[in-house]
Amino acid sequence: MKNIFRQAFMLVAALCFAVFLSCGGKTDKPEADNTIEITDYYNRKTSIRPNPQRVVSLSPGISELIFALGKQASLVGRTDYCTYPEEVKNIKSVGGISDANVEMIIALKPDIVIASSMVKRQTVERISHSGIPVVSLPERKNVEGVYQTINILGRIFCEQSRADSLVRSMQDGIDRIRRGNRGEDRPKVYYVVGFGSSGDYTAGGNTYINEMIELAGGKNIAENARNWSFSKEALFADQPDCIIIRNEDLKTFVNTSPYNKLKAVRENRVFGIESSLMDCQTNRSIEAIEQISRWIHS
């Protein structure tokens, strides 16, 4: 009888150790059958094994979040646009986002490819048909959506505890910003996506950037727009109190007619911001919101 109990104990211990190893020794455990099913942006259901060791990221935001979760060692491929943090540039690039090199991706033999909704379904299907699991995560329209992305990645990489910590840190940051802005007026803000002879483009009310402006305590003058196009007539009619623009476009914008006649330009209230802070939906969005809040309430 003792031998039977001893054998049963050894079997249970071995099973527990196998589950432990499947998550790289972390305390976060995968689901019971050792697979995770993800329904992605294209409504595709993909079953994957947790804690992949070889990952290709087709999204700058996803790459950044993989680093934030401490799983950068698993990254074997990225896009040309994945540039933060600096160390990500040491990882092999597979091309652009919408035009990634599928053959190069397949040659890297990843356990999983994680893409954004900016990657065409045709590309996703081509990679998937090669036998490589692909998950396409949507571009989010609000911060709550970013929490969801972080939690999905936490499940995939068996880093749920760290994912929860990132989410809590973002929530604390937003609470801190809101407390600081309590009682303040809401200055009118315009975010420059594009300008010049090809047209004027900004973030409308149904975008993630719009929520960032609102959380910073500003009022997006394009909040009623539902696409990225905006007219010069509307821009000059509304005369924003502050203008936010990518660092690399700041000098050209303030020296180009007719934008140099805007009140915010004449009063030196045009602020340049790091591209990835505004363009990537990550935990660093809090840094962008804090910067915008300081600028518009200064």
Question: Looking at the domain assignment, is residue 128 inside a domain?
Answer: yes
Are the beta carbons of 22 and 50 closer than 8 angstroms?
yes
Do residues 145 and 226 share a domain?
Answer: no
pTM flag (> 0.95): no
Q: Residue 5: pLDDT above 60?
A: no
Beta bridge partners of residue 56, listed in sequence order: 77, 113
pLDDT at 226: 81
pLDDT at 269: 98
Question: Looking at the domain assignment, is residue 274 inside a domain?
Answer: yes
19-23, 89-93, 133-137, 256-260: least confidently modelled range: 19-23
Average pLDDT, rounded, for the chain: 90
Task: Write out the two tokens for 246.
Answer: 């990518």
Nearest to 140 by CA among 172, 116, 171: 116
pLDDT at 33: 53
R_g of the chain computed on alpha carbons: 23
Do residues 255 and 152 share a domain?
Answer: no
- Of the two residues 131 and 28, the one the predictor is more confident about is 131
pLDDT at 136: 96
pLDDT at 1: 43
186: left (phi over 0), alpha (psi -120 to 50) or beta: beta
Beta bridge partners of residue 114, listed in sequence order: 57, 135
Q: Provide the number of structural domains found in the chain.
A: 2
Q: Note the pLDDT tens digit of each residue in 35-85.
A: 999 999 999 999 999 999 999 999 999 999 999 999 999 999 999 999 999
CATH value at residue 132: 3.40.50.1980
pLDDT at 183: 80
Q: Give the range of the structural domain holding residue 290, as residue numbers without chain letter.
A: 183-296
Do residues 208 and 285 share a domain?
Answer: yes
Do residues 191 and 126 share a domain?
Answer: no
Question: Looking at the domain assignment, is residue 5 inside a domain?
Answer: no
Question: Looking at the domain assignment, is residue 171 inside a domain?
Answer: no
pLDDT at 12: 40
Mean pLDDT of all residues in 255-274: 98
Mean pLDDT of all residues in 118-138: 96
pLDDT at 71: 98
DSSP E strands, 4-155: 36-39, 45-48, 55-58, 75-77, 112-116, 134-137
Mean pLDDT of all residues in 106-133: 96
Q: Residue 13: pLDDT above 80?
A: no
Do residues 156 and 188 share a domain?
Answer: no
Q: Residue 194: pLDDT above 80?
A: yes
Distances (CA, A) of 128 to 44, 46, 124, 278: 11, 10, 6, 30
% of the chain exceeding 90 in pLDDT: 85
pLDDT at 224: 94
Question: Looking at the domain assignment, is residue 156 inside a domain?
Answer: yes
Mean pLDDT of all residues in 128-148: 96
Question: Looking at the domain assignment, is residue 90 inside a domain?
Answer: yes
